[in-house]
Structure 1
């Protein structure tokens, strides 16, 4: 391994990546259960209207708007292994709290929002720490190795998430409180896996300490993204995906499922909606891996996002339940390509000493755009209905992609030197 490819600080070992993947799987398995159970509680148990349903969904992501960049700066200034352990332990609290409220029959809208805000706060510190840790446990910055590790990480994430969502179908039989206790147990397992990783101390040697130093590092991370011809369009695109795509998936689709008399939002159908989408994501992630290192990543990303726009337009037309699931599956196919390619680009282009900061800006695209999209989706659903809201989201996303293709280098993003040097 050449010195240029060996990151400073911790080198990965043969046992480090499996432990990392185990912790990631535990986190996202718990997240899969949370997605189904909390959506079902909001839509059916509390029977929230469109606006209040959107607020409940947004509560899990809203802290990212304010804390994700700080989380990236903290991750670079701290031992990321210790930060991951603390985040897993913090994520035990919300499901235990909600399980207690469900068991006592006292669950209402406000406590659900508080649980969501707490979980969102924990996630804002976990996401950049976990992303920054990937290259540390891998022990290399070489392009093909990074893309391969990103694919393994995403597969562990998606498989665990789908397993959690599928398992949550049993909530009607086990009871919601038991399912929430299982979610908490998965987070404890994730904390154990993270604890077994080697320490990952900060790579910064002369950074300013304290709150002022944190904000200085945040500003530097934002400037690195703004000045990068690859990171800037990717970040803008992921923010738009958070607003138009993820907001629609989290808010609009469950409301369509609930309000359409031919569909119905039972816990099994909410679970099947999630599983169909993420199964498509897993399949496309595997397909991307079969092609090896992909050179023209930008063009593939644009085409994948275009698939999502077409699916949203298709969802605007009433149809049978199987078609609803099929369109969700196709949308997941595009999402898997987009997530793999964008995350690989950011991992490759982010400097090792500021990787957590840059990755936190990238993560803010999904996690920060999502609450905004959820909050916008609620009033739009109230105004034009769930199916009309899918058309609005498709047109908004198509406009952003068109601007990025025409005004940035998104279409020509490539990590093959020969191709990058000879753009058509």
Structure 2
């Protein structure tokens, strides 16, 4: 009897410990999603405010708008890989929290400057470069927290569990961006100062939440290596995986053609339609609404076991949407097409980021994430410059049409290659 009672007490204590661990992990996941959503909310505000300040407040032409948009992305070419190294060698929660504080400082500086005078092109370029530098350190560190923050039930389910956690992360991102864009749509009523103050406050809260995810104990001192050596190690690991190698190449193309066009052409179209900042914000919200719909659908149905095939189909759908927009839809039609574009972009992004999380070894995860993001945002900076040049000498609709044709050609090339198309995700019961 005493032995049975002892065994029962052990079982009860293990059950209580398991419940306590699950509760702790659930709270950790909640803090991660709230912190991630807070940084996304600040980004949603930034996406609307920065180009609209350039167009309406400073009255910049299309070419200069391309430079302003590229200034946020160009620092990725320099700092993103170093951000991945730092997040692999230090606690990524600490790195992410400090990056949030840096972003809050950038917005505070613009708020202080704007209280005295209207910013000019050099000020906006400096502001964009500062934001891009902080973001380059934030992104790989923040995404590396996925595995640390996941619920035990998700990690036990294998690769499909990682996909599910990444989808939750994407929902936090798109939901936060949607709220930020809703706030930015009040630009004409609230003014720049109030919206910048909201950005600063949200980023400070996000920093606290991300700081709370730090681990109490860390590994002992590691062998000292030069940052460039660590970067080369990450690149080697990515190159040795054919599906990952092909995915990174596709992401670079998407950044150059799709994000670059989106950043420059969309605000120009909104201005041509003559409906003010609220219409531009509505276009962005339609895009985000599409991303939320796609993400919720993926949460319910899963990402499937052939993410590579899905990513390629998203490329084909993007080509069709770009060509459709290039024919000059009505204002309502443009809203609908932007929403559909958001659906496709969200599906492609969730599938791609899940593949990276699965294929990247733990020791190199932040570095491979930074390579993936460098391919996306570094090429997006160059794409924004190219879209600005083309739109300066041709109609924005022409830029969209050429982007659609290029996407069709890329789809044909990747379809023939087949490494990404044949990749399958294993599921463990």
Q: Fold-level match, TM-score > 0.5? A: yes
Residues 1:43 and 2:55 aligned together? yes
Return the offset for 1:264. Answer: 1.9
Return the offset for 1:401. Answer: 2.6
Work out whether residues 26 and 186 of structure 1, in 8 Å CA contact, stay in contact via their aligned partners in 2. Answer: yes
Q: What secondary structure does 2:267 align onto? A: helix
> Which whole-Å deviations, capped at 9, do the CAs of 1:50-96 have from their partners, x for residues lacking one?
11000001111110011111110111011111111111100012211
Aligned match of 2:253: 240
Q: Check 1:269–1:357 CA distance in 2 against 1; reply closer, same or farther (3 A cut).
A: same
Q: What secondary structure does 2:274 align onto? A: coil
Over alpha carbons, which structure has the higher Rg?
2
Distance 2:144 2:107 in 1: 26
Work out whether residues 78 and 201 of structure 1, in 8 Å CA contact, stay in contact via their aligned partners in 2. Answer: no
Q: Check 1:202–1:309 CA distance in 2 against 1; reply closer, same or farther (3 A cut).
A: farther
Q: Check 1:22–1:412 CA distance in 2 against 1; reply closer, same or farther (3 A cut).
A: same
Work out whether residues 160 and 427 of structure 2, in 8 Å CA contact, stay in contact via their aligned partners in 1. Answer: no
Work out whether residues 40 and 266 of structure 1, in 8 Å CA contact, stay in contact via their aligned partners in 2. Answer: no
Work out whether residues 254 and 265 of structure 1, in 8 Å CA contact, stay in contact via their aligned partners in 2. Answer: no
Return the offset for 1:204. Answer: 8.6
Distance 1:266 1:102 in 2: 21
Aligned match of 2:16: none
Return the offset for 1:293. Answer: 4.7
Return the offset for 1:417. Answer: 7.9
Aligned match of 2:195: 179
Aligned match of 2:31: 19
Distance 2:193 2:328 in 1: 34
Aligned match of 1:317: 327
Aligned match of 2:354: 344
> Which whole-Å deviations, capped at 9, do the CAs of 1:366-401 have from their partners, x for residues lacking one?
221110110111111122210000011112222223
Report which stretch shifted further, 198-207 or 23-32. 198-207
**Match runs of 1:13-412 below 5 Å:** 13-138=25-150, 140=155, 142-199=158-215, 206-209=222-225, 212=226, 214-258=227-271, 260=272, 263-264=273-274, 266-412=276-422
Structure 2: 5+ residue stretches without partners: 1-23
Return the offset for 1:320. Answer: 1.3
Distance 1:202 1:366 in 2: 31
Distance 1:364 1:111 in 2: 25
Return the offset for 1:200. Answer: 7.3
Q: What secondary structure does 2:304 align onto? A: coil
Q: What secondary structure does 2:26 align onto? A: coil
Return the offset for 1:203. Answer: 6.3
Structure 1: 5+ residue stretches without partners: 1-11, 419-424
Q: Check 1:162–1:196 CA distance in 2 against 1; reply closer, same or farther (3 A cut).
A: same
Return the offset for 1:36. Answer: 0.7
Return the offset for 1:265. Answer: 5.2
Return the offset for 1:13. Answer: 2.2
Return the offset for 1:128. Answer: 0.4
Return the offset for 1:202. Answer: 6.4
Return the offset for 1:205. Answer: 6.4
Return the offset for 1:403. Answer: 1.6
- Tell me the TM-score normalised to structure 2 length: 0.90
Number of equivalences = 402
Work out whether residues 312 and 414 of structure 2, in 8 Å CA contact, stay in contact via their aligned partners in 1. Answer: no
Q: Check 1:250–1:329 CA distance in 2 against 1; reply closer, same or farther (3 A cut).
A: same
Report which stretch shifted further, 77-86 or 157-166. 77-86
Q: What secondary structure does 2:363 align onto? A: helix
Work out whether residues 66 and 385 of structure 2, in 8 Å CA contact, stay in contact via their aligned partners in 1. Answer: yes
Provide the aligned C-alpha RMSD in A: 1.9
Work out whether residues 181 and 284 of structure 2, in 8 Å CA contact, stay in contact via their aligned partners in 1. Answer: yes
Work out whether residues 76 and 202 of structure 1, in 8 Å CA contact, stay in contact via their aligned partners in 2. Answer: no
Q: What secondary structure does 1:60 align onto? A: helix
Work out whether residues 322 and 404 of structure 2, in 8 Å CA contact, stay in contact via their aligned partners in 1. Answer: yes
Return the offset for 1:361. Answer: 0.8
Aligned match of 1:6: none
Aligned match of 1:9: none
Work out whether residues 286 and 339 of structure 2, in 8 Å CA contact, stay in contact via their aligned partners in 1. Answer: yes
